[in-house]
A and B are shown apart, each in its own frame.
Chain A
Amino acid sequence: MSKVATVTVLGPREEVERLWHELAAERGADLQASFRTAPGDRGTEIRVEVPGAPSNPVGQAVKKLSGDDPLAKAKDELRRFKQLFETGVIARSDGSPDGPAVERQLKQRPAQPLEQPERQKAGV
């Protein structure tokens, strides 16, 4: 059973595709994407088929709770790509210093500044 993750990135299709391929090595998952120009100057739609998601509801719930849901991870990758393309940076907060990450959403740290070891761990 495959599921689909999508995002719209504000930029021309050629530029979006180029950066997508440039950043392939940095992505946490090997995602096969298709691209389509969005109507109304909205940018470029990226669509990713996510194989391997469990088909039964119990399996899906377990994957979600363990932070090991391939669909959620694919959505994170699309959000991170959109952030990098549009803003040049990953959105990092005190609660989520690594940026969008489903594992972190389940285990937020308090919204107060990071100590040096935590910053190192987050690579900032």
Chain B
Amino acid sequence: MRANVWSGRNTVQVENVPDPKILNDRDAIVKISSTAICGSDLHLYDGYVPTMKRGDILGHEFMGEVVEVGKGVGTLAVGDRVVVPFPIACGNCWSCKHELYSVCENSNPNAGIAEKMFGHPTAGIFGYSHITGGYAGGQAEYARVPYADVGPFKIEDDLTDEQVLFLSDIFPTGYMGADFCQITGGDTIAVFGAGPVGQFAIASAVMLGAERVIAVDEYDYRLQMATARAGATDAINFRENADVVEQLKELTGGRGPDAVIDAVGMEAVSGHGVVQAVDRVKQAARIESDRGAALRDAIMACRPGGIVSVIGVYGGLMDKFPTGAFMNKGLTLRSGQCHVQRYIKPLYERIRKGDIDPSFVVTHRLELGQAPDGYETFKHKQDDCVKVVLKP
């Protein structure tokens, strides 16, 4: 089959690789109909996530048709149309039983590596380095899906692929970011990053009853999508005024947002040239793996007693975490890779009811063979790119 593989920093290529086979009774094989490039794939592409190997198949947002099921999978049949959650979760361990699927205790065969980096292992993830298991990803014609009785979610309506594909990751991820904020009527939520996950965090905050949602980004076209499509009430472009914390205070009568969602992660940029330069040098020199501009501002901007919700991906260590502001303002920090399996059904119902049509983020549709172009366009924000969908 053809698959998009990582071939070193800033390089991916579509190659012929072996077809996947069932390796366990609880596996299924899915023929992929649509797959997407995620913002977190760019962290791999840019070379900031350790434990990548040349030849790794990328991609963790995919859906398609079940073409083979292991004998231990009683919930799926050949021909079923499914969306596959990006965390690989067994459904049996204590964490899965408590809906903490992205920290499944059994699905990562490279638990030893993860334990050294994070203290404990985390779940396997499709196409997302070897620290999350070394699983082949979904930017391919076929994928093997382990624990197929737990992950894949059947789509039985005539909704289009683009309406349901993002249930695999970015819609539930954005929703979880808003869910963490414990929104009550009248709340103001700031969302750092108006990329695809940020757009869904904004839309979810609106769905959960936030009165004001402030989008923060450096690209006007993304802020425009945030206000016109996702439902943000205000927008801050930090290239026009780098002092995001002051602007958020101005917009909230000095209080600061009740909660701030970091939908940016480890490659954050700052409008302050010096801060940005220092972080970039440290990251390039491997003194820090995670640039902290967004998380620092989130902590500084959040009102005392508020919540900082981190759904942007971080991989290792960042410098100058503002512990003083975090502690003295009495903030709550919540975070995690999304527990997709927890949210997928209720969000599917939201789509069916017409509360949201997630396809609004799609700006580019490419054939799988054009994946390298898609990565470049997405990385450099060319052609007003927000979301790239690939068709195998």
Known A-B contacts A87-B90, A89-B72, A114-B21; A108 and B53 likewise in contact (beta carbons under 8 Å): yes
Chain B residue contacts of A42, Cβ below 8 A: 94
Contact with B along A106-124 (1 / 0, CB 8 A): 0011111111000100101
Q: Is B366 an interface residue (CB 8 A)?
A: no
User: A111 CA to B97 CA in the complex, in Å?
Assistant: 28
A111–B127 touching, CB < 8 Å: yes
Q: Is A76 an interface residue (CB 8 A)?
A: yes
Question: Which of A76, A108, A119 has a CB less than 8 Å from the CB of B23?
Answer: A119
B127–A79 touching, CB < 8 Å: no
A110–B55 touching, CB < 8 Å: yes
**Secondary structure class of chain B's binding surface, majority of residues:** loop
How far, in Å, is A112 (CB) from chain B's closest CB? 5
User: A73 CA to B34 CA in the complex, in Å?
Assistant: 40
Question: Which of B56, B91, B110, B111 has a CB less than 8 Å from the CB of A112?
Answer: B56
Q: Is A10 an interface residue (CB 8 A)?
A: yes
Number of interface residues of B (CB under 8 A): 44
User: A108 CA to B136 CA in the complex, in Å?
Assistant: 12
A113–B106 touching, CB < 8 Å: no
Contact with A along B66-96 (1 / 0, CB 8 A): 0000001000000000000000001111100
A89–B136 touching, CB < 8 Å: no
Contact with A along B22-45 (1 / 0, CB 8 A): 011110000000000000000000
A96–B53 touching, CB < 8 Å: no
B136–A86 touching, CB < 8 Å: no
A95–B57 touching, CB < 8 Å: no
Chain A residue contacts of B127, Cβ below 8 A: 111
Chain A residue contacts of B91, Cβ below 8 A: 87
B53–A95 touching, CB < 8 Å: yes
B92–A10 touching, CB < 8 Å: yes
Q: Is B257 an interface residue (CB 8 A)?
A: no
User: A88 CA to B70 CA in the complex, in Å?
Assistant: 13
Q: Is B109 an interface residue (CB 8 A)?
A: yes
Number of interface residues of A (CB under 8 A): 39
Chain B residue contacts of A10, Cβ below 8 A: 92-94, 97
Chain A residue contacts of B53, Cβ below 8 A: 95, 108-111
User: A89 CA to B73 CA in the complex, in Å?
Assistant: 12
B134–A91 touching, CB < 8 Å: no
Question: Which partner residue on chain B sits nearest A97 by CB separation?
Answer: B23
B144–A113 touching, CB < 8 Å: yes
Known A-B contacts A87-B92, A111-B56, A114-B18; A95 and B112 likewise in contact (beta carbons under 8 Å): no
Question: Which of B109, B144, B147 has a CB less than 8 Å from the CB of A87?
Answer: B147
A113–B107 touching, CB < 8 Å: no
How far, in Å, is A89 (CB) from chain B's closest CB? 4
How far, in Å, is B233 (CB) from chain A's closest CB? 42
Chain A residue contacts of B112, Cβ below 8 A: 72, 75-76, 100, 102, 105
A96–B19 touching, CB < 8 Å: no
Q: Is A90 an interface residue (CB 8 A)?
A: yes
Known A-B contacts A95-B130, A100-B109, A112-B3; A43 and B21 likewise in contact (beta carbons under 8 Å): no
A111–B26 touching, CB < 8 Å: no
User: A79 CA to B109 CA in the complex, in Å?
Assistant: 9
A92–B110 touching, CB < 8 Å: no
Chain B residue contacts of A88, Cβ below 8 A: 25-26, 72
6 contacts between A and B (CB under 8 A): A87-B92, A110-B54, A110-B55, A111-B135, A112-B136, A122-B23
Q: Which residues of A contact B (CB under 8 A)?
A: 8, 10, 42-43, 72, 75-76, 79, 82-83, 86-102, 105, 108-115, 119, 122, 124
Q: Which residues of B contact A (CB under 8 A)?
A: 3, 5, 17-21, 23-26, 51, 53-57, 72, 90-94, 97, 105-113, 124, 127, 130, 133-137, 144, 146-147
**Can you name 13 extra interface pairs (CB under 8 A) apart from A91-B146, A113-B18?**
A10-B93, A43-B94, A83-B106, A87-B90, A89-B72, A93-B124, A94-B136, A95-B110, A109-B134, A110-B5, A110-B56, A111-B130, A113-B17
